[in-house]
């Protein structure tokens, strides 16, 4: 039985923080990096990675399944990107690429992306320590059967030099609508960027910050331990949380009636619209989620609105209602799905 997905459960600091993720990049010591390896070597990486998990003497062997990327349509692969299960890079080339994923879908192991192994653990809310602890345990299982490319001075060796060292990218998805509404976002996020922290959009590098959501992650992987990296990131994220909460108090103290009108209108459109684009949904999603967090809209809406953030994305709509849907057909089905979900509250 599949448990509730990470996005449908509220976690610590849920009013501002959507999710926490820890990703580890690893490579085999005896096989060239994916950009230089042969098709045969790529298949070896797939088989040995599968064996390390599926044939391990741990509970993991029963929790995971293997999915070849070549077995999925373009739409199915893109739907996984929208669910944050794989990276956008995994969609482009399916040769000798696969995914090991657990039943709860909070652990995914991408095989032959930029590195031989990209292991990620995803939790709701601010749970970086929990995500790292789980990632480390899965990494240890892999390392029982795989000898990693490792240098005594530099640490784990990776395809991209910026990942050398720990090979770890820890990230937190934050929702900062009040900071954006007050015009503080550019200065605040620029200051964060100067502290060795990357600020990206909803799906990582090269993507936009839709719905006032930003991905905050470490840039330094060399010279700091994993624990130090996570502590640094948590400190900066907590400052962002404080700034967002202060901005919310300022907004509601200045004009509560106008805020109530804005949030209730956003909910009214979501609950009644017959056509809804993905872009319009994300704007309304941000307002409704802020309205919930500020006590203006029902708190019970939170899990549903978080789930809608994922299942209303274009590829997920096509996966559910038909992979040949045109843009307007998707917009109609999206509005229909939103109405049905909101009826349950």
Confidence of residue 1 (pLDDT cuts 50, 70, 90): very low
- Domain ranges across the chain: 6-245, 256-342
> What pLDDT sits at residue 61?
86
What is the pLDDT, as a whole number, of residue 283?
95
CA dihedral (158, 41, 114, 24) positive or negative: negative
Is 203 or 182 the better-scoring residue by pLDDT?
A: 182
Provide the Cα torsion 71, 328, 268, 247; round to 10°: 70
Per-residue pLDDT reduced to its tens digit, 2-61:
345 766 677 899 999 999 999 999 999 999 999 999 999 999 999 999 999 999 988 888
Confidence of residue 152 (pLDDT cuts 50, 70, 90): very high
Q: How far is CA 332 from CA 210, 276, 321, 327, in A?
A: 21, 6, 11, 9
Does the pLDDT value for residue 222 go beyond 70? yes
| Alpha helix (H) residue ranges in the chain | 39-54, 60-63, 74-82, 89-92, 128-143, 177-181, 185-193, 226-254, 256-272, 278-293, 301-311, 314-321, 327-342
* Digit-coded pLDDT (tens) for 71-101: 999 999 999 999 999 999 898 888 899 999 9
Q: What is the pLDDT of residue 336?
A: 97
Check residue 209 and give its pLDDT.
Answer: 67
- pLDDT, one tens digit per residue, over 264-322 is 999 999 999 999 999 999 999 999 999 999 999 999 999 999 999 999 999 999 999 98
Helix axes 256-272, 278-293, angle to 10 degrees: 130
pTM: 0.91
Average pLDDT value for residue range 102-113: 95
Residue 225: φ, ψ to 5°: -80, 165
CATH of domain 6-245: 3.30.590.10
pLDDT at 103: 92
Average predicted confidence (pLDDT) for the chain = 92
Q: Are 11 and 17 in contact, with CB atoms under 8 Å apart? A: yes
Here the tokens at position 37 are 């390896």
CA angle, residues 307, 312, 316, in degrees to nearest 5:
100
């Amino acid at each position: 039985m599949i448990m509730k997905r990470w996005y449908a459960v509220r976690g610590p600091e849920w009013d501002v923080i959507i999710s926490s993720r820890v990703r580890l990049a690893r490579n085999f010591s005896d096989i060239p990096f994916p950009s230089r390896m042969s098709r045969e070597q790529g298949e070896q990486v797939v088989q040995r990675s599968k064996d390390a998990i599926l044939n391990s003497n741990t509970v993991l062997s029963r929790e995971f399944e293997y999915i070849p990327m070549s077995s999925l349509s373009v739409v199915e692969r893109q739907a996984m990107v929208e669910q944050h299960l794989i990276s956008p890079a995994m969609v482009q080339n399916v040769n000798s690429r696969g995914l090991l994923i657990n039943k709860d879908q909070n652990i995914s192991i991408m095989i032959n992306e930029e590195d031989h192994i990209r292991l990620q653990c995803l939790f709701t809310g601010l749970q970086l320590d929990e995500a790292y602890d789980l990632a480390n345990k899965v990494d240890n299982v892999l390392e029982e059967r795989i000898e990693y490319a490792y240098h005594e001075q530099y640490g784990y060796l990776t395809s991209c030099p910026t990942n050398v060292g720990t090979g770890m990218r820890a990230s937190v998805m934050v929702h900062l609508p009040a900071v954006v509404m007050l015009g503080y976002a550019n200065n605040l996020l620029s200051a964060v960027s100067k502290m060795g922290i990357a600020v990206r959009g909803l799906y990582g590098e090269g993507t936009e910050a839709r719905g006032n959501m930003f991905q905050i992650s470490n840039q330094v992987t060399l010279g700091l331990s994993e624990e130090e990296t996570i502590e640094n990131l948590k400190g900066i994220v907590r400052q962002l949380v404080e700034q967002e909460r202060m901005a919310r108090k300022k907004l509601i103290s200045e004009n509560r009636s106008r805020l109530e009108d804005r949030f209730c209108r956003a909910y009214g459109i979501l609950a009644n619209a017959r056509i809804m684009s993905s872009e319009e949904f994300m704007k309304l999603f941000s307002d409704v989620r802020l309205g919930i967090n500020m006590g203006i809209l029902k708190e019970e809406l939170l899990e549903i609105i978080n789930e809608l953030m994922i299942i209303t994305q274009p590829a997920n709509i096509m996966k559910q209602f038909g992979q040949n849907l045109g843009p307007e057909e998707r917009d109609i089905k999206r509005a229909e799905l939103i109405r049905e979900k909101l009826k349950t509250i």
